[in-house]
A and B are shown apart, each in its own frame.
Chain A
C-alpha cells in the first residue's frame, strides 16, 4: 500500500514538475497577478494530487487539471460585494506585480484583465493553450456555441489593442 502511494506520488511529482510553469502562466493569464497565479497553480496541483488516481486515469489529465484551475479561479469571483472607487481613488488596475519579469512594454495581459472572467478563460484556453472549441467547452462546462460567442466578444474588445491592431494592419 505504501509502495503504491509512493509510486503514485512519484508519478504525480513528475507531472507536477513538468506542468508547473505552464499552470502558473495559465493562471497568470486569468488573474494578472504573479502571486495569485502561483497560489492558484499550487491549490490546483494539491487538488489534483488528492484525486490523482482519477486524474491520472482521465483521458486527458491536462484538461482535467485545467478544469480544476478554472473552477478554483471562478470561486475567487463569487464574492458579490463590489467595491466602489469613484468617490475616492481610481479603480485598481489589474497590472502585473513588480515581481514579474514581464517586458514592461507588453500590453496584452492588462487588456485581458479588462475582460469578464469567462471571456478571459476562453481566450486563454483557446488561444494560449491552443484547444479546440469543443475542448474548451468541455473544460468550462458550457456549450460550443457559448465558447464561440465568448471568444467573439473577447476578440472584438481586444481588437483595439495596439499590439493586435498593428499585427492585423501589417
Chain B
C-alpha cells in the first residue's frame, strides 16, 4: 500500500470508530422483515386466487422489486384512494397494465418495496406537486407524488388519454400518493386541486428517459405560450472530458439533459431546474465524473464568472430559442461561492454571493 492509502485506512478507522451507533434496533429489524414477508405472502395468495379464476397470471417480480399480480382491469394505469387499515397503516394500491400492486406503510416507516423508497427520501416543496421517480431502463416507473399542504387532489392526464386521480396517504409525515407507470406511458399534464374542488394550478410535464418532470406551474386562467426550442451546449471538463447539456424549452418550462460523451452506455440525467452543484442530496448518475453548473441567465448577459472554491471560471453565454444560458463543466470537489453576470460592455448585471458554509 502507498502512503496515501495507509493514511486513508488509518483516518477512516479513526473517524468511524468515534461514531457510536444507537443500540441494535432488534424489534425494528424484525418488524421490517415481517412486513416484507407478509407482503410476499399476501401477493402469493392473491396470485393463486387470480390464476384459479382466470386460468392464467403468475406473480411477477419486476426489476423495481415490486410484487405484481395479474388482474382483469382494462385501464393501463389505475390508482385507488389510499386508506388506513386496522393496524394504522396507510395502504396504497393500484394497477399497471392490468397487474395489481399494493403497499402498506406503517406510521414512521418506509414502504418495504424498494421502488417506492423515494416516498421516504423526498418531501413536498414550494410547487403544488413534487414528483420523485425511480425507474430502470425499459421497466416500470414508480412515482412518489408529494402534495403541498393546500392540495387535496391531483388529476393526471396520461399520454394514452387516460385520467388518473390521486389522493394522498401518509408516509413519514408527508402527504403522498404512489403511482406505477408502464414504460410506454407518460404523464402529459397534472392538475392540482384544493379541498373545495378549485383548480389551484396545472403543469405540463417534460418526459425524458421514461420519467416525467414537472417544471412550470400555471394558474388556471393562464395559457402556456412559451415557444418550443432546443439546443446543445457542449464543453470540456478540466480533465479534458467532452461534456454536453441538451436544453429543452417548451410549455413545460426549461429542462436539461446532461450527457457524458463519449462514454458508451452513459445514462443521461434530466432535470427541469437549473443545473447542479455537488454536495446536494441529489447527485448525477454514477457514470458522470463531473457536473454541469449554471443554467438560464439574463438576456443581456455576455459572460458569467462562476466563483468556485477551486478558482473563478469565466463562461460565455449561449443563446437558444431566444433565451440565454451559461453552463460550465467542472470536476467534483468544489464549492460554489458566487456568480457574477456581465453584459457585453463588461458591466456587472447581477452578482450572487452564496453564504459561506458553517
Contacts and interface: CB of A to CB of B under 8 A. Distances in A.
Contacts of B278: 91, 114
Nearest to A157: B333
A165 B149 CA distance: 49
Contact of A85 (B3, B8, B277, B283): B277
B133 A84 contact: no
Contacts, number: 216
B5 interface: yes
Contacts of A167: 3-4, 6-7, 10-11
Interface in B16-56: 16-22, 24-26, 28-30, 32-33, 36-37
Nearest to A29: B16
Contacts of B19: 24-25, 28, 34, 37, 100-102
Contact of A83 (B10, B15, B273, B332): B273
Contacts of B21: 20-21, 24-25, 37-38, 41
Interface residues of A, number: 71
Most A C-beta atoms less than 10 A away, residue of B3, B21, B282: B21
21 contacts: A17-B24, A37-B19, A42-B25, A46-B32, A47-B33, A75-B114, A75-B117, A77-B283, A79-B122, A80-B133, A82-B273, A90-B356, A93-B335, A100-B19, A102-B18, A103-B18, A118-B286, A157-B332, A163-B11, A164-B7, A167-B3
Interface of B: 3-22, 24-26, 28-30, 32-33, 36-37, 110, 114, 117-118, 121-122, 131-135, 209, 211, 213, 269-286, 288-289, 293-295, 332-333, 335-336, 339, 352, 354-358
Interface of A: 9, 13, 16-17, 20-21, 24-25, 28-29, 34, 37-39, 41-43, 45-47, 49-50, 72, 74-87, 89-95, 100-103, 106, 108-109, 113-118, 123-124, 127-128, 130, 153, 155, 157-159, 163-164, 167-168
